[in-house]
Copies of this chain bind each other. A is one copy, B any other.
């Protein structure tokens, strides 16, 4: 009756999902109530259901949109046969970092809260994640074969890369932030060439 919902460019559903991503990041999926979300959207809880069909659906949209985003990128990178493995890894890393800077809320939520998906979607997400990690591992193994990369355990390297990137969360919370590009360069350098000087 009184309040109206704003929408810049995109549907009202998009507004709801964006606010939800923010809350899910701050408090977690389970600890965020629909009334909580409604309040931040500026509407009563019941009104949300004119735009979404359930709380679960919101999480699904966030998770799968993000997952597809990463999956298309790695396919694009991996399709190019003229890049070295190290170059591919660097591109993947930089893409992750940029995503973590630009779409922070959704990327973070999709990484931390996907466990709360329910079962058709949960299994789907699990295999997507597995497939994604496997693709990166293959790039690393290719690099090992060609002598560009140290002979380390590829799954372990993937694990380090992906989780290191998700640590950008604490960069966001930090008071004295360095610039995003500096962060990116630092992270890539540390992961590719390590902490130790000279070697």
Contacts and interface: CB of A to CB of B under 8 A. Distances in A.
Interface stretch (A15-23, A53-61, A64-72, A160-168): A160-168
Contacts of A31: 29-30, 116
A70 to B, nearest CB: 16
A36 B157 CA distance: 36
A178 B153 contact: yes
Interface residues of A, number: 50
Q: Looking at chain A's contact residues, is the secondary structure mostly helix, strand, loop, or mixed?
A: helix
Interface stretch (A40-48, A102-110, A180-188): A180-188
A2 interface: no
Interface of A: 27-31, 86, 89, 112, 115-116, 133, 140, 143, 147-150, 152-153, 155-157, 159-160, 162-168, 170-171, 174, 178, 182-183, 186-187, 189-199
25 contacts: A28-B28, A29-B31, A133-B170, A148-B196, A148-B197, A149-B196, A150-B189, A150-B193, A150-B195, A150-B196, A152-B189, A152-B195, A153-B186, A155-B178, A156-B190, A157-B186, A157-B190, A159-B167, A159-B168, A160-B167, A163-B163, A163-B167, A190-B194, A194-B194, A198-B199
